[in-house]
Amino acid sequence: MAVQLIFILHLIIGVYCHVSAFERRDSHYVKLPVVHSTNKKVFSDFGDRRAITTVPLANRSDVAYYAQLNIGTPAQQVFVQLDTGSFELWVNPDCSDLQGSADIRFCQAVGHYDSTSSSTATQLAGTKTLRYGIGSANIQYVTDDIGLAGTDSQLKGVQFGVATDTTDEFAGILGIGHGLNVTIRYKNFIDELEAQGVTETKAFSLALGSKDEQEGVVIFGGLDTGKFTGTLQTLPILAAKDSPDQVPRYWVNLTSLSLNPPTGAEKTYENTTMAVFLDSGATLTLLPTKLANAIAADFGADATDANGFYPVSCSLNDMPGTLNFAFDGVTIKVPYNEVVRELQTSFGTQCYLGISPSDDFILLGDTMLRSAYAVFDQTNNAIHLAQYVNCGTNEMEITDSTNMTAITGDCDPPTAKNVVSTSSAIPTATPTSAASTTAITTGAAAKTTSAIAGASASASAGVSTVAQSSSSRVCLGWWTGLAMAVFWAAMAR
């Protein structure tokens, strides 16, 4: 009888061990909330024992997407803009350089890092000037430990820049494009995540979240099948030499662009087969002038204003209809209310098309990316893309053997109801001169050479690695117990 009880108990623990081992084995990924700069509650939902700040980032005049880093020892909390269009991390924008009062307050709220207050900081000799589509930063390199807010993960000795002087920047930038030996000579954030074993591959998935949701999620080394519908389609990243600006970026081929207007038939625009890059650091989507004009006309805008934006009616926010970006095997349908950009001004809410004309840079910015779920996969040199829908959370790790094309989202296709959601409340703020969050670096053309990172690849425990060690203790106990049960059973006989 006692033997049977012990056996049943062990069976239960055994099932737990196998289930948890299945779930947790090799779970090398970390998840960070993506904070919309317009989000008034900032992180309060995520606040847990690992202490996420509640600094209000609200009142930015335009939306941009931020992640929190805890830099140094003791940790200093800093928000940085997540930018797939650049390659390096830097902090400490010069807030006194800014004009708009909302920008200045925002800049002050993102946090400041002081290397002299960190026992783990090391100053490096290198400096560099980073130039973006709008703005620039002169940086001095340091290395320090970086904790990822809301997780137990910490990266040791990461090289990044501390700004000595910036122009038109109101937050630091976390460049998550290609790093070591591709664009720079030291390991960037994505390189370090892999080198230090926090992730198994150089891949991360990004869901910016809709305007209504006000928050999204980035998973380094993993993905969430509760954030998309359909199967992830793999698009090869174009080689730099085949790309329009010859810079290694997340360039992919767009096959065509079409419009499903609120009434009337679908319309496909001409000459829309082109290379585009995915840039979370850009507020707007930039398309060739002729095409941008054609789309704007269909949204009722004849021409751009003095700032280069197409003014449109705010009533478009409440209309059904989608702008469709087709790639090989997948079409991302962007609802009207995500295409339309809303700004609060002293004259009330003003609306603009989330697309601007540009004949230099063709990129898909936040106005398109909010409707996509994208896995940026440097290891396989591909973007895995699907339609964004949020139907819950179901995370998985991306390993070397993950077959990305076999992964299907848990969500149903968007219905008219969730395609067209009610327009969200955008906080009051004065408009600034624009898509000031656009971060297009001139990349390889950066001025000075960088110092080589002193970071050694000392393994640091990721979230799940910690979880795994406690579960493996239980499981070791189970095996010991099984051996004893077998022993007792043999004795009883």
Ligand X SMILES: *[C@@H]1O[C@H](CO)[C@@H](O)[C@H](O)[C@H]1NC(C)=O
Burial of 347 (0-12, 13-18, 19+ CB in 10 A): exposed
Q: Does residue 26 have an active-site annotation?
A: no
State in angstroms the smallest separation of the CB of 109 from ligand X: 5
For residues 1-13, one letter each, b for 16 or more C-beta atoms within 10 angstroms of the residue's C-beta and e for the rest, the string is eeeeebbeebeeb
CB atoms within 10 A of CB 314: 15
Q: Could you tell me if 79 and 67 are in contact, meaning their C-beta atoms sit under 8 angstroms apart?
A: yes
Q: Which of 62, 83, 144, 224 is catalytic?
A: 83
Measured from the CB of residue 220, what is the shortest distance to ligand X in angstroms?
18
Among the residue ranges 270-278, 296-304, 333-341, 482-490, the one whose residues contact ligand X (CB under 6 A): 270-278
Among 45, 270, 360, 412, binds ligand X (CB under 6 A): 270
- Comparing CB distances to ligand X, the nearer of 338 and 397 is 397
Nearer to ligand X, 106 or 336 (CB): 106
Q: Which is nearer to ligand X, 32 or 109 (CB)?
A: 109
Enumerate the β-bridge partners of residue 325: 257, 332
Should residue 109 be labelled a site residue for ligand X when binding is judged by CB under 6 A?
Answer: yes
Distance CA 39, CA 68 (A): 14
Catalytic site includes residue 83: yes
Q: Which stretch binds ligand X (CB under 6 A): 17-25, 54-62, 157-165, 278-286?
A: 54-62
Least distance from C-beta 334 to ligand X, angstroms? 21
At its nearest, how many Å lie between ligand X and the CB of residue 56?
4
Q: Is 105 in the site for ligand X (CB under 6 A)?
A: yes
Report whether 466 contacts 158 (CB < 8 A).
Answer: no
- Please give the residues from 110 up to 169 whose contact with ligand X meets the rule CB under 6 A: none
Sign of CA dihedral 229, 230, 234, 237: negative
Of the pair 14, 288, the CB lying nearest ligand X is at 288
Annotated catalytic residue within 62, 103, 279, 377: 279
* Ranges within 317-346 binding ligand X (CB under 6 A): none
Using the rule CB under 6 A, is 290 a contact of ligand X?
Answer: yes
The answer to whether 289 contacts ligand X (rule: CB under 6 A) is no
Which of 27, 59, 81, 86 binds ligand X (CB under 6 A)? It is: 59
Q: Which is nearer to ligand X, 238 or 340 (CB)?
A: 238
Question: Smallest distance, Å, CB 273 to ligand X?
Answer: 6
Q: Out of 180, 284, 295, 364, which residue is the one contacting ligand X (CB under 6 A)?
A: 180
Asked if 253 touches ligand X (CB under 6 A), the answer is yes
Other C-beta atoms closer than 10 Å to the C-beta of 266 total 10
Note whether 362 and 291 are within 8 A (CB): no
CB of 425 to ligand X, least distance (A): 12
For ligand X, the closer of residues 4 and 54 by Cβ is 54
- Number of residues forming the site for ligand X (CB under 6 A): 18
Question: What string of H, E and C letters represents the secondary structure of the chain?
Answer: CHHHHHHHHHHHHHHHHHHHHHHHCCCCCEEEEEEECCCCCCCCCCCCCCCCCCCCCCCCCCCCEEEEEEECCCCEEEEEEEECCCCCEEECCCHHHCCCHHHHHHHHHCCCCCHHHCCCCEEEEEEEEEECCCCEEEEEEEEEEEEECCCCCEEEEEEEEEEEEEECCCCEEEECCCCECCCECCCCHHHHHHHCCCCCCCEEEEECCCCCCCEEEEEECEEEHHHEEEEEEEEECCCHHHCCCCCCCCEEEECEEEEECCCCCCEECCCCCEEEEECCCCCCEEECHHHHHHHHHHCCCCCCCCCCCCEECHHHHHCCCEEEEEECCEEEEEEHHHHEEEEEECCEEEEEECEEECCCCCEECHHHHCCEEEEEECCCCEEEEEEECCCCCCEEECCCCCCHHHCECCECCCCHHHHCCCCCCCCCCCCCCCCCCCCCCCHHHCCCCCCCCCCCCCCCCCHHHHHHHHHHHHHHHHHHHHHHHHHHHHHHC
Question: Closest distance between ligand X and the C-beta of residue 252, in Å?
Answer: 8
Taking CB under 6 A as the rule, does residue 181 contact ligand X? yes
Q: How far is the CB of 200 from ligand X (least distance, A)?
A: 16
- Quick one: which of 47, 56, 197, 320 contacts ligand X (CB under 6 A)? 56
Identified binder of ligand X from the candidate list 236, 264, 300, 392, rule CB under 6 A: 236
- Among 96, 119, 346, 403, interactor with ligand X by CB under 6 A: 403
Task: Please choose, out of 3-11, 77-85, 204-212, 268-276, the segment that lies near ligand X by the rule CB under 6 A.
Answer: 268-276
Candidate list 30, 34, 42, 58; residue touching ligand X; CB under 6 A: 58
406 binds ligand X (CB under 6 A): yes
| Closer to ligand X by Cβ: residue 218 or 382 | 382
Shortest separation between residue 465's beta carbon and ligand X, angstroms: 23
Binding mask 410-449 for ligand X (x = CB under 6 A): ------------------x---------------------
- Cβ closest to ligand X, residue 276 vs residue 334: 276
The catalytic site residues sit at: 83, 279
Could you list the residues that contact ligand X (CB under 6 A)?
A: 56, 58-59, 105, 109, 180-181, 236, 238, 253, 270-271, 273, 290, 403, 405-406, 428
